[in-house]
Amino acid sequence: MAGFETDAPGTTQLLMGNEAIARGALEAGIGFAAAYPGTPSSEILGSLAPVAEKMGMYAEWSINEMVAMEAAAGAALFGIRALAAMKQNGTQVVIDFLGNLVMRGLGGGGLVLVSCDDPSAHSSSNEQDTRPVAKWLDIPLLEPGDFQEAKDMTKWLFDLAEEIDNICILRSVTRIAHARGNVKLGELPKREHRVSQRPPVFRGMPPHAGLHQKLARAQEKFESSPFNCYVGPDKAELLIITGGSCWLHSQEAVKALGVEDRVGILKLGTLWPLPEKFVESHLGKSEKVLVVEEIDPFIEQNVMELVANLPLTGPHPTFYGKRSGHINAYGELNPDMVIKAIASILDVSYAPREAEYAKKADEATRGYVPPRRTGFCPGCPHRATFWAMKNALRLDGREGFVTGDIGCYAMAGGPTGFFQTRTIYCMGASAGIANGLGQLWRFGLEKPILAVCGDSTFFHATIPALINGIWNDSNFTLVVLDNSATAMTGFQPHPGTGMTAMGERTHVISIEAICRSLGARVEICDPFDLKNTTAKLVELVAEGGGAKVIIMRHECELVRARREIPPYRVHVDPEICVGAACGCDRLCTRVFLCPGLIWDEKAGKAKIDEVICAGCGVCVDICPQRAIIKEAA
Amino acid sequence: MTTKALMKDPLNLIITGVGGQGNVLISQLIGNALVSQGYLVTIGETYGASQRGGAVMSHVRISKVTQCSPLIPEARADVVVGMEPVETMRVLAGFGNAGVMTIFNPRPVYTMGSGGGAVEYPDLDKLIERIKELSAKTWIVRATEEAQKLGRPILANMILIGGIIGSGVLPLDVKAMELEIQERFPNALEANMMAFNRGMELVGQ
């Protein structure tokens, strides 16, 4: 199948926004890419890494976003075009470095940070907006409004970064990064990457003053950029100013309402610094301006600031948007929300569907669309770990407090993890928070403290907190959920897997060796062995003293299933299952909550859904009647 | 390349199911085939719960003139493809209209905790009746059942794709889809083509 890297200029492919960004980077002739996986950014490096060798470039999954950004900057220092990609949380981690990088310049290579935001936090712990970071740190920022632009802007940003000797940011959101659309491919440069042999020289100007000059040069280019455009009548009743995926939503909304001759859309792609002259030249088109954008009122406030500085004779439209309440002040937007805002301002009516059908749909669906909770997959080792933890803490009897972290196991605060984790912040925060909690015994806290983290999270941000805990003798147990995968984002390799992004075998960095070298007591369990895992947890939690580590090691089921058939065939023996008479109150289907276990209403007994069951066999050990039977497959 | 006229522009298709069932695969295969035929295609996916048993949707928008928003507005689905009956109903509730055509696999994936618990899975026969009531036209494709007969539950997706193409709701002929399947599954072509053809048969093609 022709991939995104195919050398066929002029042909069109259906590309995910992230693939389009990767293609743009290839067309710009990048030599270096580094990233840490995070939805919705993961497919950028995920696309580049497998083709890196063929394209004569280098690509790596780095241990975390900070190292990815710094490594990419290192390549740029010696003249290699470099890209770092991450989600918004990563960008926040990198701010300290960026704040210093912009003061010093890049050397010879162009450097681009792709920061993918996740409005509504579909796959995130927050929905922070990257755009204010650009304004705060004086970094030019562009945002693509469709898939073609995702490619074209990425390519162009490398030229800009090189020209002004400053890092540039491409901001993308979930509905571009993770959506797909048509992209016409451009030329792939034939270039061999060679470093400049002269070390980078940082020129003249006091750094901050020089930075402002760079921004002014970027702004000048933005004034005539093809990434900004206006569509609509010369005089409009309403002018929409928008960017990113809201450009697509806005066009859809105007069309749905049939108000193309009444509403104009000013689409901005160069968001920081604002192309002020370009915006000003369109502000006179209407006395009403609606700003449509996701998360923070970034465009809205910058345009308002511009208008506040215009002479009294200039355009001073009435603003609608987040401040006026016409656009939500948080969360993702969609065409319906934009339709509603326009309809309200223009006082037009809109009915999404026939009243009769609406009524029928309302009646027909009542009681027929139960909510579908997310949970751990069938066969997931985390379910077993948290089952053991629940029982161990009950046996301990002191209401242990468990801090959570980022990964699939973030769901452990809900029913699928038996409500075991009680906090969720950022990567590495579980052990960090536990450091504090583990000192509170002196103020009367009598609960045992546990912190959970995944294997990739352990490497990413947990190690310093663990060292701190051992150094300062903080009393907590670190539970490392080692499923040998960065499972939440798509199974990327990490330092413990013995593989690099480019598919080369490398050193396996051992979690237990690191922990033992620090002097921690380390236990290793297979969580599928519920009995032993529970006993070990009870023992460690009871031990007291400083920081301890227990590694729950069992491969992610989704990775295992790609390789081999399920280990067991599992069924419920209807002769042994006594159903409601058991007294267990449907422990298997109501509490253990594996999607493979279902309740047969007619028979009043549990059964296995053979299409869903992963054949792990863990449920065999939770049934008080031993009615669940496993046989080697 | 001549692109066939669309019965409506854009033509809006929603593929829905439960995380892990493979709706992304279906939207990608169909989307690639459509782009190769010269259409402008925009696909929006719900990814957050994609591997974890939640309700998932792919919005596929097909046009000859414009790149659309990756999200279909309320009540504007022309075709709903359901990999699971409750999810089919959920999508009809939000995106259905008097003209909507529905192709679905009636095999339930039970909601977690259902059965005597707070979250009841509805009566299946009544559910299927109500899906029909809300659709102008309905094709039932017993994809899971047929895939089990073929010995590979994973083939349910390809059977459903066969059902979609066989129903004629998309401007895609068998040949365009076959080419796409060949490119995607060069090593498992026979099984996938068998499943695809089975899906075509199930909708009477």
B94, part of any domain: yes
What pLDDT is stored for residue A195 in this prediction? 87
A371, part of any domain: no
Nearest CA in chain B to A179: B44
CATH of the domain at A321: 3.40.50.920
B116, part of any domain: no
Q: Chain B residues with CB inside 8 Å of A350's CB?
A: none
Alpha-carbon gap, residue A105 to A122, rounded angstroms = 35
Provide the CA A41 distance to its chain's centre, in angstroms: 6
**In degrees to the nearest 10, what's the CA dihedral of A252, A256, A261, A266?**
-20
B22-73 pLDDT tens trace = 888 999 999 999 999 999 999 998 765 445 788 899 999 999 999 999 999 9
The confidence band for B112, taking pLDDT boundaries of 50, 70 and 90, is confident
**In sequence order, which residues have a C-beta less than 8 Å from that of residue A310 and are 6 or more positions away?**
A280, A283, A316
Q: Are residues A281 and A415 in the same domain?
A: no
Q: Are residues A421 and A274 in the same domain?
A: no
Looking at the structure of chain B, the number of domains it has is 1
A603, part of any domain: yes
Domain span at residue B136 reads: 11-110+123-202
Low-confidence ranges of chain A (pLDDT < 70): 1, 202-205
What pLDDT is stored for residue A6 in this prediction? 95
Q: Are residues A18 and A119 in the same domain?
A: yes
Q: Are residues A489 and A594 in the same domain?
A: no
Interface test with A, best of B16, B27, B51, B62 (most A CBs within 10 A): B51
Q: B43, A336: Cβ pair inside 8 Å?
A: no
Task: State the amino acid at position A182 in one-letter form.
Answer: N
Residue B161 has pLDDT above 90, yes or no: yes
Instruction: Give the number of other CB atoms < 10 A from CB of residue A260.
Output: 14
Q: Chain B residues with CB inside 8 Å of A356's CB?
A: 98
A111, part of any domain: yes
How many beta-carbon pairs below 8 A join chains A and B? 205
C-alpha pair distances (Å), A570 with each of A20, A91, A614: 44, 45, 9
Q: Chain A residues with CB inside 8 Å of B120's CB?
A: 370
Nearest CA in chain B to A338: B73
Q: Chain A residues with CB inside 8 Å of B87's CB?
A: 372
Residue B116 has pLDDT above 50, yes or no: no
Alpha-carbon gap, residue A506 to A455, rounded angstroms = 17
Query: Can you tell me the mean pLDDT for B156-177?
Result: 95
CATH of the domain at A456: 3.40.50.970
SS (H, E, C) A558-599: HHHHHHCCCCEEEEECCCCCCHHHHCCCCHHHHHHCCCCEEE
Alpha-carbon gap, residue A105 to A207, rounded angstroms = 9
Q: Are residues A546 and A627 in the same domain?
A: no
- Between strands A270-272 and A141-142, the pairing is antiparallel
B117, part of any domain: no
Looking at the structure of chain A, the number of domains it has is 4
A96, part of any domain: yes
Q: Are residues A244 and A205 in the same domain?
A: no
Entry pTM: 0.97
Instruction: Give the number of other CB atoms < 10 A from CB of residue A370.
Output: 18
Alpha-carbon gap, residue A411 to A388, rounded angstroms = 16
Q: Are residues A169 and A234 in the same domain?
A: no
**In sequence order, which residues have a C-beta less than 8 Å from that of residue A232 and are 6 or more positions away?**
A239, A260, A263, A264, A265, A285
Select from A122, A353, A416 the Cβ nearest to the Cβ of B48. A122
Q: B133, A14: Cβ pair inside 8 Å?
A: no
Q: Chain A residues with CB inside 8 Å of B102's CB?
A: none
Nearest CA in chain A to B58: A179
Q: Are residues A238 and A198 in the same domain?
A: no
What pLDDT is stored for residue A203 in this prediction? 62
pLDDT > 70 in chain B, percent = 93
Q: Are residues A330 and A388 in the same domain?
A: no
> Could you give the count of Cα atoms lying within 13 Å of A597 in the half-sphere of its Cβ?
27
Residue with tokens 């546990």: A450
A171, part of any domain: yes
Query: How high is the ipTM of this complex?
Result: 0.95
CATH of the domain at B194: 3.40.920.10
Looking only at Cα atoms, what is the longest distance across chain A? 88
What pLDDT is stored for residue A580 in this prediction? 84
- Dihedrals φ, ψ of A608, to 5°? -100, 135
B1, part of any domain: no
B4, part of any domain: no
What pLDDT is stored for residue B114 in this prediction? 60
Q: Are residues A398 and A524 in the same domain?
A: yes
**Nearest Cα to Cα of residue A409 among A388, A379, A383:** A383
Q: Where are the beta strands (DSSP E) in A157-201?
A: 168-173, 180-184
What pLDDT is stored for residue B204 in this prediction? 86
Alpha-carbon gap, residue A233 to A465, rounded angstroms = 59
Q: How far is B168 from chain A (nearest CA, A)?
A: 22
The answer to whether residues B113 and A593 touch, using CB atoms and an 8 Å cutoff, is: yes
A539-583 pLDDT tens trace = 999 998 889 999 999 999 999 999 999 999 999 999 999 998 898
Q: A39, B73: Cβ pair inside 8 Å?
A: no
Domain span at residue A291 reads: 229-346
A314, part of any domain: yes
A368, part of any domain: no
Q: Are residues A182 and A91 in the same domain?
A: yes
A621, part of any domain: yes
Burial of residue A161 (CB within 10 Å: 0-12, 13-18, 19+) is buried
Q: A122, B116: Cβ pair inside 8 Å?
A: no
Q: How far is A376 from chain B (nearest CA, A)?
A: 6
The confidence band for B115, taking pLDDT boundaries of 50, 70 and 90, is low
What pLDDT is stored for residue A205 in this prediction? 67
B186-201 pLDDT tens trace = 999 999 999 999 999 9
